[in-house]
Amino acid sequence: MSAVTASLPAVRKGTYVFLEDARRTSHVYLMAEVDASALKAARARAASPVSYVSYVVKATADVLADYPDARAVILGGRSPKLTTQAAVHAKVLFDKTVDGQRCVVSGVVHDVQDLDVPAVQAAVDVYKTADVDDRGPFANAKRLQRLPLPAFRAVYRTMMRNPVRRAALQGTFAVTSIGHERVGAILPLITGTLGLGVGHIADAPVVREGALAVAPVFTLSLVFDHRVLDGAMAAEILAGIKNRLETWELA
C-alpha cells in the first residue's frame, strides 16, 4: 500500500494552533492518587447523573478561591504582566467526531465559584450532547475551522491577547479526562496557569486506619505554568483538591 499525503483536516486546526500557543508555557507536572469512595457515594445520592469530571471541576474552583496567584493569566514578552481573575472559569475537553474525523473541542463553564455540582453538570452536559455545528455551543469553533490556517492563527492570537478574554475563552483552569478507558493518567498541555488530568477509576489497595482495604482510586494530575507558580504552591493546590474530593459531601 502506498503512502497518502493530505492537508491537515479542518477539525484539527484548533488543536494545531492551541499547541503552538502551549509551547510558550513552562509546563511542570504533579500527580496524586485520589480515593473516589466519597465521590462514588455522592453520585449514588445525587438526584440526577453527575460525572466525576464535574466534581473535579467544582473541587478545583473551591480550592482556587484561596489562591489568587493560581487565578492569574500571564502575558509574556519583554515586560511580562500578570492579570489576576476574580472569577473562576473551567475549560472542559470533549472528544467529538466531525465530518468523520476524531477531534477534541473545549467548552467553558463560567463562574464555577457560584455554581453547585448539579449546575456544573448541566453546563457540561450542554457541550457533551452538542454537535460541532453552526448552531450550538461550538458554533464559533466551527466557523474558525473554515478559515485558512494563517487566518485561524491570526484570529486566535488576537482573541488571546486580552487576559480577561483569554480566561473567559480558555478557562482559569482546564480539565481533561481519559476515564472512559483503562488508562491510568494523562499529562495535558495547557496555555493557561493550571490544568488537571483525570485518569481511569479502578479498584486498588488503600490503607485506612492502619488496615488494608480496597477502594476505587484514580490518578489526578496537575500541570502548572512555572512562570506563574512554584512547586510548593502547586503541591498545596493539588493536595487541597485531593482532600476536597476524598471528603466530599453532596450539598
The reply to whether 1 falls in a domain is: no
The yes-or-no verdict on residue 241 having pLDDT over 80 is: yes
Q: Which domain holds residue 177?
A: 10-246
CATH of the domain at 85: 3.30.559.10
What pLDDT shows up at residue 189? 95
Q: 166: pLDDT confidence band, cut at 50, 70 and 90?
A: very high
Q: Which three cell numbers stand for residue 83?
A: 492579570
Residue pair 199/33 in contact (Cβ under 8 Å)? The answer is no
The reply to whether 170 falls in a domain is: yes
Beta strand pairing status for 90-98 and 72-75? unpaired
Question: φ and ψ at 161, to 5 degrees?
Answer: -70, -30
The yes-or-no verdict on residue 214 having pLDDT over 60 is: yes
6: Cβ contacts below 8 Å, ≥ 6 apart: none
- Residue 177 CB-density burial (10 A; 0-12 exposed, 13-18 middle, 19+ buried): buried
Question: What type of residue is 91?
Answer: K
The yes-or-no verdict on residue 1 having pLDDT over 80 is: no
The yes-or-no verdict on residue 37 having pLDDT over 70 is: yes
The reply to whether 162 falls in a domain is: yes
The yes-or-no verdict on residue 106 having pLDDT over 90 is: yes
The reply to whether 31 falls in a domain is: yes
The yes-or-no verdict on residue 140 having pLDDT over 80 is: yes
Mean pLDDT of 84-109: 94
Of 39, 37, 42, 41, which is closest to residue 251 (Cα–Cα)? 42
What pLDDT shows up at residue 249? 82
Residue pair 244/59 in contact (Cβ under 8 Å)? The answer is yes
Q: 250: pLDDT confidence band, cut at 50, 70 and 90?
A: very low
What pLDDT shows up at residue 76? 81
The reply to whether 4 falls in a domain is: no
**Burial annotation 90-122 (CB, 10 A radius, 16+ → b, else e):** bbbbbebebeeeebebbbbbbebbebebbebbe
Average pLDDT, the chain: 94
The yes-or-no verdict on residue 78 having pLDDT over 90 is: no
Give me the number of domains the chain comprises. Answer: 1
The yes-or-no verdict on residue 2 having pLDDT over 90 is: no
What pLDDT shows up at residue 209? 85
The yes-or-no verdict on residue 64 having pLDDT over 60 is: yes
Q: Which of 96-100, 103-107, 116-120 has the lowest mean pLDDT?
A: 96-100
The yes-or-no verdict on residue 49 having pLDDT over 90 is: yes
Q: Give CA–CA dist 26/183, Å, rounded.
A: 25
Q: Three-state DSSP class for 103?
A: strand
The reply to whether 116 falls in a domain is: yes
The reply to whether 3 falls in a domain is: no
Mean pLDDT of 65-71: 96
Q: Three-state DSSP class for 242?
A: helix
